[in-house]
Amino acid sequence: MKNYSILTLLGILCLSITTSLGQTSAEDFFDLGLAKGEKGDYHGAIKAYDKAIDLDPKYKEAYFNRSIDYMSIGQYDDALKDINQYISLDRDQLDGYLLRGNIYLESGNFKLAIKDYSKCINGDPEWSDVYFNRAVAYEGQENYEAAYEDYSKSISLNPGDADTYFNRALLLEEIFSKYEEAIKDYDMAIYLNPEDAIAYSNRAYTHEMLGNILDAIKDYEKAIELLPEDYWAYGGLGGIYIDLNKNQEAIDVLTRAIILNPNDGWLYYNRGVAYYNSGLYNEACSDWRQADKRNYPDAKIALKEDCR
């Protein structure tokens, strides 16, 4: 299983208000909430916004920011209540629908997320971030064609965003099996963000699918250089070494991968193959038993055939 980039929720900006010498107490609490939220003290921020809203029940910016802070601590129901209140106070501001879409997206309600994102796009067809977010929601619904179209639209509007190329590359690779196109998107993602180890690791796997073994090795090695804790890159490199009959090299990198992630049966199974190819049958069977304990399906077959 490959690493995925974590889902990027773009477009949320805390609202701030220009202060003046005649500032009210509600504004004082608002500014306190804003400062606490920026420092990651979401509970403290929520308490400050509570007081601002108590003093001014129509303080729409306080509802908006408190909604963000509720979402940050996973209280999606409270976040929805606040953003719905914000929208009721100002139905013409698209940022409310964007934030509500993001809350729906994070809580897994993809249908309603798409509805809100679509409203934003109808109001502003050039809003590239919203196309990105709607693409993520379409992926959640397994509507991959629509997701691909939205990623492509987002790229056409903002061709400098590495995350969009990365996500579209994943679709091309994993869903559509269009490996050459996927590599082109990974190329762009890496060009725009050359420190993205996961992009190198995923491109390496895609090179494997095309039989570009030397390119795959280079990318796995680069991924490990950038992110030494990337067990997937070690595991992928180990699989290539097995195919090249470089079994000791495979054992070495797979051992490193297992240290990083001792719960993945695939790693034990492949190291068992490398041990077996090296004539170390006891070690092979031991690894296959570990793989079987972790429910790796091929392990039972190996144990039955070679570890009697």
Instruction: Determine the pLDDT at residue 308.
Output: 78
CATH number given to 24-91 = 1.25.40.10
Read off the pLDDT band of 73 (50, 70, 90). very high
Least confident of 5-19, 97-111, 196-210: 5-19
Instruction: Determine the pLDDT at residue 23.
Output: 52
Tens of pLDDT, residue by residue over 251-295, are 999 999 999 999 999 999 999 999 999 999 999 999 999 999 999
Listed in sequence order, the residues at least 6 apart from 156 whose beta carbon sits closer than 8 Å to its beta carbon are none
Read off the pLDDT band of 222 (50, 70, 90). very high
Tens of pLDDT, residue by residue over 235-251, are 999 999 999 999 999 99
Instruction: Determine the pLDDT at residue 170.
Output: 98
**What's the predicted TM-score (pTM) here?**
0.86
Listed in sequence order, the residues at least 6 apart from 212 whose beta carbon sits closer than 8 Å to its beta carbon are none
Instruction: Determine the pLDDT at residue 10.
Output: 35
Tens of pLDDT, residue by residue over 74-105, are 999 999 999 999 999 999 999 999 999 999 99
* Across 138-156, average pLDDT: 98
Options 3.40.50.1980, 3.40.50.300, 1.10.3720.10, 1.25.40.10; CATH of 246-308: 1.25.40.10
pLDDT at 4 over 70: no
Sign of CA dihedral 130, 136, 137, 142: positive
pLDDT at 20 over 50: no
Tens of pLDDT, residue by residue over 172-183, are 999 999 999 999
Read off the pLDDT band of 25 (50, 70, 90). confident
d(CA 122, CA 106): 22
Task: For the chain, give the mean pLDDT.
Answer: 92
Instruction: Determine the pLDDT at residue 12.
Output: 41
| Domains of the chain, residue spans | 24-91, 246-308
